[in-house]
Amino acid sequence: MRKNLFLAFLILLGCCGYAQTGISTPDFNASDTYLKNFMTKWSVTGASMTISKDGKLKYLRSFGFSNVEDNILTQPHTLFRIASISKSITSIGIMKLMQEGKLSLSDKVFGPGGILENFPDIKDANITDERIYDITVQHLLEHTAGWDNAVNCFPSPTTPYPYTFYGCNPKDASLHVAELYGASAPPPASLLIRFMVENGVNFTPGTRHVYSNQGYSTLGRVIEAVTNMKYEDYIKSAILHPLGIFDTHVGKALPEDFHERESLYYAVGNVKSIYGTGEDVPWQYGGQNIPEMDALGGWTTTARDLNRLLVAIDGYDTKPDILTAETLALMTTPSTAYQYYAKGWAVRTDGRYWHNGQLPGTYSIWVRSIQGYTYTIILNKDRNDAYSNQFRNEFDNLAGQCIQSVTNWPEWDLMDVPTVNADALVANANTTSIDLDWTNGNGQKRIVIAREKSSKKAFPLDGVNYDASSVFGNGNDLGNGNFIVYNGTGNSVSVTGLIENTEYVFRVVEFNQSTNTGDNALYQLGNNAEIEVVASALSMEDNALAQFTIHPNPTKSLLYINAPKIGNNTTYAIYTLEGRILESGPLSEENTEINVDKLSAGIYFIKVAEGNTKSKTRKFIVE
């Protein structure tokens, strides 16, 4: 380690009962204290917070633990559930489709000619309240579709639960919906929507504002119907990934399925498992079907990713926005039924717009403030008792106190993380060494992390520089035997010092380090190129297979495979970077011609295999 090793030591040491992680300067001491005092007062387990000014991320700090049981500190790279902030993300998706002319806010949603007319489950709804046919996309965005969650719609008891659910929020009583329709548990979001549609509305659409979870779940299905894509896939491909946001995913219900680096959640109370097992489980772990809550409350992310998205729709001219000024104005224009809520955002006349989120075990906020500020705060513990309102009020005011406490803002932009990852990672193994090569992303540099597959993952920390050695075990250890085997600007490394017949995992991580980052290394940890390889020597027969070549490379139309001494069971297969097979066939001659002129320009893999156990892979480019 170099100059920032001492910083890493201080991070682990912690202060005042709460360990602090992330890059800081004395200018933020008061901000750190405000957040720690809040956590102490309300017994918050872990938190991450960001503050951007004029489009640049100035403050990115985390506190406490993401996993108390295993003493894992909350880091800026920790993922959290963000609950109803997901509604704002859904709104951004809808507004982008509107901006592209793919839907209109006045489009009807249900019934003949409606967007969801032929959507699974919803198409089978027995609609008896004809006001359902009047619901538009705008009504759903503004929570004016006609549903009132406070009006009871469940029987008492709400079978198969031994107790009664009051109000009408089917995401909480999903077993009842599954039982009603004879579906397996947990039911899909579309069946919960059918339940709501068949129950009718409680007031004429457009006349009142009543917060509705199922309204936003319906908008998720609208996105699917319009794009012919899964909701999550559309949001990622059309909005998140083009911005370099790779650590944002729809969450999972159970800890064993959580995303990499995701926090645990600390809440009170049990409920029957959504999987219909009959067992009582914590609300935060199997009490709610997080994947099916996607568009209304299902996203997980890091505080930095969340701030990056917010800066991309903040209306300031410091960084490009993904929505036009006209679309942003429409998105943040209040409903005629309620002056303090627009389309997926709480709003005020001074230009602020924001959203809070709460689920058992998480509380969150993101705010587009005035005077060029945006900020996000995410906690892994909520409050739902007699003191809840006081907790929320102090939480909502926390970032404002921090901003007012800073008199000197650093010049750095901690958002300056690479936005294109390395890819096309290929490995060729020998007895005690493995050769790696890859295609670089847009980072100024990159590191390669190597570990035995049996070891737990560990991750680099922003602001820390690492020394590498291509001899496994000699470079810096991130923890758990995760060694840095490369650090530089190139695209290949030969890793030695490996154990024969042992499986290793290699990961390429892009990073930036410049004046703009404050000379801090900032690592892109989402969606990294990763490969598993066994250190094993090839037999003489395998060595012949390993000598296969391809030419020309790059190519425009024809690709020639030269595979000397091929056997009777030799085949080839062409793959995309994502691992999808595009073409395959036998190799009956040493020189085989393949026409690739129908492939789009890009990078592909070709694998030549002898039976099911022997294979070698090459990378090629189509121009």
For 454-465, what is the HEC assignment? Answer: CCCCCCCCCCCC
What confidence score (pLDDT) does residue 561 get?
85
Q: Which residue has the higher pLDDT, 517 or 615?
A: 517
Cβ count near 121 (within 10 Å): 20
pLDDT score of 503 more than 80:
yes
pLDDT band at 291 (very low <50, low <70, confident <90, very high): very high
pLDDT band at 12 (very low <50, low <70, confident <90, very high): very low
CATH number of 87-243: 3.40.710.10
pLDDT band at 430 (very low <50, low <70, confident <90, very high): confident
The conformation of residue 516, written as its DSSP 8-state character, comes to G
Q: How far apart are CA 86 and CA 216, in angstroms?
A: 9
The stretches of 339-497 forming alpha helices (DSSP H) are: 388-405
On whether the CB atoms of residues 80 and 301 are closer than 8 A, the answer is: yes
Task: Please state which of the ranges 75-84, 373-382, 464-473, 587-596 shows the lowest mean pLDDT.
Answer: 587-596
The stretches of 76-188 forming alpha helices (DSSP H) are: 85-99, 137-141, 174-181
Q: What is the mean pLDDT of residues 484-489?
A: 98
Mean of the per-residue pLDDT values for the chain?
92
> Which SS3 state, helix, strand or coil, does residue 167 take?
coil
Q: What is the mean pLDDT of residues 18-25?
A: 91
Q: What is the mean pLDDT of residues 300-319?
A: 97
- Residue whose C-alpha is closest to residue 372's, from 56, 53, 50: 53
What confidence score (pLDDT) does residue 484 get?
98
pLDDT score of 591 more than 90:
no
Q: What is the mean pLDDT of residues 485-514?
A: 96
What confidence score (pLDDT) does residue 614 get?
62
Q: How far apart are CA 278 and CA 271, in angstroms?
A: 10
Per-residue pLDDT tens over the stretch 203-256: 999 999 999 999 999 999 999 999 999 999 999 999 999 999 999 999 999 999
pLDDT band at 566 (very low <50, low <70, confident <90, very high): low
Q: How far is CA 453 from CA 409, 460, 481, 503, in A?
A: 43, 18, 10, 6
Q: What is the mean pLDDT of residues 574-602?
A: 81
Q: Where are the domains of the chain?
A: 87-243, 423-534, 540-622
Question: What residues pair up with 62 in beta bridges, in sequence order?
Answer: 21, 48
Per-residue pLDDT tens over the stretch 182-201: 999 999 999 999 999 999 99
Q: What is the mean pLDDT of residues 97-105?
A: 98
Helix, strand, coil percentages in the chain from 3-state DSSP, rounded to 5: 25, 25, 50
Question: What residues pair up with 15 in beta bridges, in sequence order?
Answer: 18
Q: How far is CA 427 from CA 306, 535, 616, in A?
A: 34, 10, 9
pLDDT band at 104 (very low <50, low <70, confident <90, very high): very high
pLDDT score of 95 more than 70:
yes
For domain 540-622, say whether CATH 2.50.20.10 is its number: no
Q: What is the mean pLDDT of residues 494-523?
A: 96
| CATH classification (class only), 423-534 | mainly beta
What confidence score (pLDDT) does residue 573 get?
86
Q: What is the mean pLDDT of residues 107-126?
A: 97
| 87-243 and 423-534 agree in CATH topology | no
What confidence score (pLDDT) does residue 611 get?
66
pLDDT score of 576 more than 90:
no
pLDDT score of 301 more than 80:
yes
What confidence score (pLDDT) does residue 126 get?
97
What confidence score (pLDDT) does residue 224 get?
98
pLDDT band at 564 (very low <50, low <70, confident <90, very high): low
pLDDT score of 6 more than 70:
no
Percentage, residues of the chain above pLDDT 70? 93
What confidence score (pLDDT) does residue 312 get?
98
Task: Please state which of the ranges 89-93, 395-399, 438-442, 543-547 shows the lowest mean pLDDT.
Answer: 543-547
Q: How far is CA 269 from CA 159, 193, 203, 283, 382, in A?
A: 19, 26, 33, 6, 12
Q: What is the mean pLDDT of residues 307-331?
A: 97
Q: How far is CA 461 from CA 31, 153, 472, in A?
A: 21, 49, 20
Contacts of 516 (CB under 8 A, 6+ apart): 412, 413, 416
pLDDT band at 579 (very low <50, low <70, confident <90, very high): low
pLDDT band at 540 (very low <50, low <70, confident <90, very high): very low
Percentage, residues of the chain above pLDDT 90? 81
pLDDT score of 15 more than 70:
no
Q: Which residue has the higher pLDDT, 591 or 503?
A: 503
pLDDT score of 8 more than 50:
no
pLDDT score of 589 more than 70:
no
Q: How far apart are CA 379 and CA 365, in angstroms?
A: 9
pLDDT band at 17 (very low <50, low <70, confident <90, very high): low
